[in-house]
Each structure stands twice: as C-alpha cells, then as structure tokens.
C-alpha cells in the first residue's frame, strides 16, 4: 500500500506577523475556531492527498520555479459563506500571481493534480466564523523571500502543518 500525504505549497507567514495577527484577532473577539499561529500561511497550490513517492517530483517542480522576492500587504478581512475568515490583499502583487502561476504550470507539466480553483491569495485566520462589523484589520506587510511545501497532519483537535522543504526567491 502506498503512503499518502496531504500536501500544499504556500508562503510561510513570518513569526512576527503571525504574532501580530493573533493579537489583533484576540482583541476583536471574533466567533469561530482560530487557526493556530504556527499554521498561518498563504496557499499557492493545494495538492490534497498525494503518494509519498511524488515528493521528489514535487521538489523538482519547486526548484524550477523562478521568482524575485516581493512585498505583500494583507489589509482586508473577508468572510466566506462557509465561515472561513481570512485576510487578503486589496491588490495582489504581480510577482505573487506569477509565482502561483509558475508553480501551477509546473505541476500541470508533470501531471500532478491540484485544486484548480482560481487563485485568490488569502491567509485564513478563523474557521466556522463570522465577520463582525468594525473588525477591520490593520495592514500586515512582509517581504516574501521564500515558499515551502507543507504536509498537513490530523491531530486531536485539529491539524498541524509541517514544512517539508523551502525554496528561496531570488
């Protein structure tokens, strides 16, 4: 039997930004299940369950992606009908869109399936939540200088995301 891993490519949220988001989120008293600070990220491509044997191919795809570092600002709060609350940019940086496109094109070239919904950059802060009036976030800005492949593991009470490998933007 083949081992299956639940995987995704994402931008890791810097620790200082994650801590600031958690402080703001706590002060808002928003309903829902908060995403743990260590799980905060911005997904580039969700791969879902993949055979462990595909890891080397995924690493090769990531190594072939070229992108310059860029700045991102998350400044808007959005609530989906499914109760996901996330932070998103008012305007997506072109370099971010190019990075996501290049990664997705590489996955397509090697026939690795991924969630093909249109890319909408966001960082989920709550599940099973609802936006409250006046809960406008401050602007969270950081220099994106790397992306990573993550593994999602189910644990009692939720999930834990573990970085398998990172690639610098240069």
Q: Which residues are catalytic?
A: 41, 122
As a whole number of angstroms, the distance between CA 4 and CA 103 comes to 21
As a whole number of angstroms, the distance between CA 33 and CA 90 comes to 24
Phi, psi (degrees; rounded to nearest 5) at 72: -125, 145
As a whole number of angstroms, the distance between CA 110 and CA 107 comes to 5
Sheet of 85-88, strands arranged across:
33-34, 123-127, 85-88, 76-79
């Amino acid at each position: 039997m083949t081992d299956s891993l639940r995987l995704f490519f994402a931008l890791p949220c810097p620790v200082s930004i994650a801590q600031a988001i958690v402080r703001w989120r706590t002060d808002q008293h928003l309903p829902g299940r908060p995403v743990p600070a260590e799980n905060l990220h911005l997904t580039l491509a969700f791969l879902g369950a993949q055979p462990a044997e595909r890891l080397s191919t995924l690493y090769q795809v990531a190594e072939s992606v070229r992108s310059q570092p860029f700045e991102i600002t998350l400044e808007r709060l959005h609530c989906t009908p499914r109760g996901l609350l996330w932070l998103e940019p008012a305007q997506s940086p072109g370099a971010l869109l190019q990075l996501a496109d290049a990664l997705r094109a590489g996955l397509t070239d090697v026939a690795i399936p991924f969630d093909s919904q249109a890319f909408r950059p966001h960082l989920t802060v709550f599940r099973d939540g609802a936006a409250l009036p006046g809960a406008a976030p401050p602007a969270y800005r950081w220099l994106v200088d790397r992306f990573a492949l993550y593994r999602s593991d189910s644990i009692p009470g939720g999930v834990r995301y573990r970085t398998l490998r990172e690639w610098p933007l240069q």
